Amino acid sequence: MFFEVKDWSVGHPAIQDRLVCKNSNFFVRRGEIVGFAGLMGAGRTELARSVFGRSYGRFINGHVYKDGKEVVLKNVRQAIDAGLGYVTEDRKSLGLNLLDDIKATTVSANLKKISRNSVVDSAKEFEVAEQYRKALRTKTPSVEEGVAKLSGGNQQKVVLAKWMFTDPDLLILDEPTRGIDVGAKYEIYGIIQQLANQGKGVVVISSELPELLGLSDRIYTIFEGAITGS
């Protein structure tokens, strides 16, 4: 199995006796798009964020396996180094620094790839950002434009570019089409399909059931912090 989570339990960060993930088990194959369905507050985001470097809640127990070997992801850096990427549902607060331009944002999750002796190669930075602008068809006059000036759909493409630049084996997308227009939605669906066709594992969390039914190879349902079916 390419990526597997077993017996995953996480406590609420502030409420001592409340669990936000209850003995969750799921797996993702290479080239597979796996949907997470559930109502708002069911625990889908909490599960995804806690797996991605324990960036939410109090870790209680559980195991993560990649290519059959257990990996311990105690922080976001370890998760990125292990080949995970996470596109957050709240792009303005958690996915982007609205003071940055497109090129700085595109490379921000993997600076070592374009740095020498801890100094960013600005020509390489521009080249990478331009490459993703063309590939994702981001509508902007220049990659030196501030991300705050972009539409919601184009901001989402910049967030996707940021994580695609880390070359993840598994990409988690939390509400990837929330608040964007229909045209940009279909472009993002195409990008998700391309990633799966490249042999990446993709997890899509969405409140829109038709979206999950259209995109996913399998869907897990989540209720009150527990995976209830597949």
The predicted-structure confidence for 88-99, as pLDDT tens digits, reads as follows 988 877 788 888
Q: What is the pLDDT of residue 98?
A: 82
> Residue 94: inside a domain, yes or no?
no
Q: What confidence score (pLDDT) does residue 230 get?
A: 96
Q: Please check whether residue 90 lies inside any domain of the structure.
A: no
- Do 143 and 177 belong together in one domain? no
72 is in which domain, residue-wise? 1-83+168-230
**Number of domains forming the structure of the chain:** 2
Confirm whether 187 is domain-assigned.
yes
DSSP string computed for 97-151: -TTSBHHHHHHTT-GGGGEETTEE-HHHHHHHHHHHHHHHT---S-TTSBGGGS-
For the stretch 149-208, pLDDT in tens is: 998 888 989 998 999 999 999 999 999 988 888 888 888 899 899 999 999 999 999 999
CATH of the domain at 192: 3.40.50.300
pLDDT single digits (tens) 119-142: 888 889 999 999 999 988 899 999
Does residue 144 form part of some domain?
yes
* pTM for the whole structure: 0.90
Q: Give domain status of residue 88, yes or no.
A: no
